[in-house]
Amino acid sequence: MESDPRLPVISLFSGAGGLDLAVERVADPPLLRPDEASRGPFRVAIATDYEPQALDTLALNLPGASTLPGDIRETPTSELLSVGGLSQGDAALVVGGPPCTPFSKSGFWLAEKRESRDPNASLLEEYVRVVAQARPEAFVLENVQALTYKTHEAHFRQLLQALAELGYNPQWKTLLAADFGVPQLRKRVFIVGRRDGKAFRFPEPTHAGPSETTRTWDMSKLPHVTAAQAFDGLATSAEAGELVEGKYGELAAEVPGGQNYLWHTPRYGGRDAFEWRSRYWTFLLRLAPDKPSSTLQAQPGPYVGPFHWENVRNSDGDLRARRLRVPELLRLMTFPDNFRLMGTRADIQRQLGNAVPLELGKAVLHALSIQLGYVDAETEADDQLVRLSNDSVLIS
């Protein structure tokens, strides 16, 4: 069998494979969802995660990737390399989004050897350990924006220092997914470093628009992709348990698109059912068709949105809000329509809610591909200019 000429990638904390999909689809044109990925420079050689079901989803969609379920704290780097058919220095990239747990007091970078591993060691530390021992050409680390908050400042600085001491010159930036064509106002921090020590330059946003913290924006850029645009042409069918029933079912159905429980306070036009700012923002939240979605939740409660802006009738003929259907969730994550997921509806929601939106991951990895010399920047720029000027392509 002919060997795959693409460069191998190690994926940590892979989940359902959002960042992995971006690795293998980095050559796809922006905001297109082809059933088959365009031939790009990278392939996922080995993916690992604590959750076997998420890896089953990944394997369905990236059958060429080897998977290794298990706790990363108990998985030696040598095992990752062996399962992936790699040696130290072979991997072009290490990618992944480790959950942000507290740093251990005795970090991997503070001593060359430890007689025993700290069972409470940070998963961020484990990411550093694999980078240190696998020596990839570059790494991409994705995490929640809260990692950069003042409450985590010491941990964040420690992480950056550890990666810098390995010679990777880490650069970081918080990116808004909607600024890269994702119909979702999701913020994530990315840390990128290169083994040669050259500073990574983050991609410039292609889109702009209002958000929670933005009231003015660059009007020369394309407008944010809206939920209605994302759903355009999508045929869906009813899913079991999609209706919002129970204690707040009637109230949820009365909330207009783009509003939440605050509609049912004295300041708005609904019922006087709640105190002002007495609930989380996502409580009874409905999508606004003319705006991007709010961040998709991984484990929403029964009355946590965003729900669709349209109501449907239940068996009694009463109007009810409905939850987003799986094909709609895929569109809001900019995943291909033929992406398949394992598990129950709750499992699927968790996997997608924890994933990296495809177009956001692609934007970062595409910029890295250019800067590492694996993609022709001039050709790509010309092609992308044509694509981004074609609105029909952007929302098809």
Q: Tens digit of pLDDT for each residue in 351-389?
A: 999 999 999 999 999 999 999 999 887 655 444 444 444
Domain residue limits at 172: 7-221+358-394
The dihedral through the CA atoms of 84, 86, 91, 95 has a sign that is positive
Q: What is the mean pLDDT of residues 301-326?
A: 97
Question: 22-36, 234-248, 310-324, 326-340: lowest mean pLDDT where?
Answer: 22-36
- Which CATH number goes with the domain that contains 128? 3.40.50.150
The count of domains in the chain is: 1
Measured CA to CA, the distance from residue 123 to residue 167 in angstroms comes to 20
Model confidence at 239: pLDDT above 60: yes
In a domain, 260, yes or no: no
Model confidence at 326: pLDDT above 60: yes
In a domain, 195, yes or no: yes
In a domain, 180, yes or no: yes
In a domain, 228, yes or no: no
> Of residues 216 and 320, which shows the higher confidence score?
320
> Which pLDDT score is estimated for 385?
44
Task: Single out the residue of 22, 80, 23 nearest to residue 48, CA to CA.
Answer: 80
Model confidence at 111: pLDDT above 60: no
> Which pLDDT score is estimated for 69?
97
Whether 100 is catalytic:
yes
> Which pLDDT score is estimated for 92?
98
Model confidence at 278: pLDDT above 90: yes
> Which pLDDT score is estimated for 119?
45
Q: Tens digit of pLDDT for each residue in 64-90?
A: 999 999 999 999 999 999 999 999 999
> Which pLDDT score is estimated for 100?
59
> Which pLDDT score is estimated for 279?
94
- Select which of 80, 100, 123, 285 is catalytic: 100
Measured CA to CA, the distance from residue 245 to residue 78 in angstroms comes to 51
Task: Single out the residue of 77, 78, 119, 123 nearest to residue 97, CA to CA.
Answer: 123
> Of residues 277 and 2, which shows the higher confidence score?
277
In a domain, 300, yes or no: no
> Which pLDDT score is estimated for 212?
79
In a domain, 102, yes or no: yes
Grouping H, G, I as helix, E, B as strand and the rest as coil, residue 36 is coil
In a domain, 51, yes or no: yes
Helix (H) or strand (E) holding 188: strand 187-194
Measured CA to CA, the distance from residue 24 to residue 22 in angstroms comes to 5
In a domain, 269, yes or no: no
Question: By the 8 A CB rule, do 198 and 181 touch?
Answer: no
Banded model confidence at residue 122, pLDDT cuts 50, 70, 90: confident
Banded model confidence at residue 337, pLDDT cuts 50, 70, 90: very high
338 residue type, one letter: N
- Lookup: tokens for 262: 């605050």
